[in-house]
Amino acid sequence: MNYTTFNNLTNPQGTRHTATWADVARLIQNVPAYPDKGSQPLIKLGIFEGDSRESGHSLTTISGIEIDYDAGKVTAHSAANLLRQAGIECVVCSTYTSRMDCQKWRVFAPTSRELSAELRQYLAHALDDALGNIAARESFTPKQTFFIGRNPDSNYIYFHVRGEFLDIALKEAANAAYKADKLAQREREQLATARALHTEIQRTNRQGGRLVAGQVSPIEAFNEAHSVRAILTAHGYRERDGRYIAPASSSGMAGVVILAGQDSRERAFSHHSNDPIADGLAHDAFDLFCILAHGGDEWAAIQAAAKLLTTSSGIPIQAHNQAEFRKHRAQDRARAALKLIQGGRV
């Protein structure tokens, strides 16, 4: 199995290791004592991009799941019994701040093989279900790393529970959660597409209302000239298996999906919680340009697009539209003057 260790909490650069699960279990069993919690190294049963947990470096694969328990009401012995009953191969050990009257512990459960990091959330929840849903919130943070070490002033508790690898022991529960989540995701995507098409029509109509005869729509021209994927890439989104990871993603999951509407235009929909384009709607290339490059200011984005793009005859759209607007105003004035003459008022 592959895993990563970090010298301390402040150093984001880790070291990758390859070992057997038996080796990792012994490592956790025989950890030395440290003078304080912050002096301990950290471990992750997985691999990061560039072996770094810095922002922008995702967790790519996992070889196991880690879960923390901090409430102090369930003992490590009780947790080990629950996991033994569930048939899960794992290690349960006390954490640095654990006391006999308030036990805090951690579970390390290996998988049978290296798995995509996308599957971590399903296995973590399945493992927590076996424990009665008591895991600390940070247990479900994909990039979370975990201290390993003894407190010299308290007894170190360690249980090695024998059983099946996690993804085998809890395969049915994890698969059910995975299928349910994917079904819900497809439903969200379908709803997002419908909303996006409605919003697109409304915005196009608004833009059409601002145009006079002969003018070119900068929005339509921008969408013709740019792809959703190119705009995402230009703003730091990283492609993985046809999806994209937002620059600010803490999970490292590819939460931006590409949808195709009934008009065959591609749009991006984000499931990330901290992504500026995650507003419940799907976005075409101009939408992304508006949000990512202009902070959502549609008029500023239209003006910028009009300066960037040209008409089929090579004239900048801004200059072309200005000329058409002046022509339209001159025609309006001429029609108004003619109406006055025909009305006998001059």
C-alpha distances (whole Å) from 25 to each of 41, 63, 108 are 16, 13, 9
User: Could you give the residue ranges of the DSSP H alpha helices within the chain?
Assistant: 21-29, 76-85, 120-130, 166-169, 171-210, 218-225, 228-234, 285-288, 294, 298-308, 317-342
Lowest mean pLDDT among 78-82, 94-98, 101-105, 296-300: 296-300
Q: Specify the pLDDT at position 313.
A: 79
**Domain spans in the chain, listed from the N-terminal domain onward:** 2-169, 182-338
C-alpha distances (whole Å) from 114 to each of 1, 63, 120, 207, 245 are 7, 5, 11, 51, 21
pLDDT band at 315 (very low <50, low <70, confident <90, very high): confident
Is the pLDDT assigned to residue 55 strictly greater than 90?
no
Is the pLDDT assigned to residue 194 strictly greater than 80?
no
Place of tokens 């005869």: 213
Mean pLDDT over 158-176 rounds to 91
Q: Which two tokens stand for residue 294?
A: 């202009």
Instruction: Tell me what the pLDDT averaged over the chain comes to.
Output: 87
| Beta-strand pair 59-72/158-161 | unpaired
Count the residues in the chain.
346
C-alpha distances (whole Å) from 132 to each of 124, 127, 135, 137 are 12, 9, 8, 14
Q: Which two tokens stand for residue 148?
A: 């390993």
Displacement of CA 16 from its chain's centroid (Å): 24
Cα 289 to Cα 296: distance, rounded to the nearest angstrom: 9
Lowest mean pLDDT among 37-41, 96-100, 186-190: 186-190
Q: What percent of the chain has pLDDT over 90?
A: 56
| Beta-strand pair 238-240/243-245 | antiparallel
Question: For residues 7 and 52, is the Cβ–Cβ distance under 8 A?
Answer: no
| Three-state secondary structure call for residue 165 | coil
Q: Specify the pLDDT at position 327.
A: 79
Q: Specify the pLDDT at position 216.
A: 82
Task: Give the relative orientation of helices 171-210 and 120-130 as an angle to the nearest 10 degrees.
Answer: 130
Is the pLDDT assigned to residue 209 strictly greater than 50?
no
Is the pLDDT assigned to residue 204 strictly greater than 60?
no
Q: How many CB atoms within 10 Å of residue 251?
A: 22
| Three-state secondary structure call for residue 65 | strand
Is the pLDDT assigned to residue 249 strictly greater than 70?
yes
Mean pLDDT over 122-144 rounds to 93
pLDDT band at 178 (very low <50, low <70, confident <90, very high): confident
In the Cβ-directed half-sphere of 121, how many Cα atoms lie within 13 Å?
Answer: 12
Of 136, 98, 140, 146, give the one whose Cα is nearest residue 122: 140
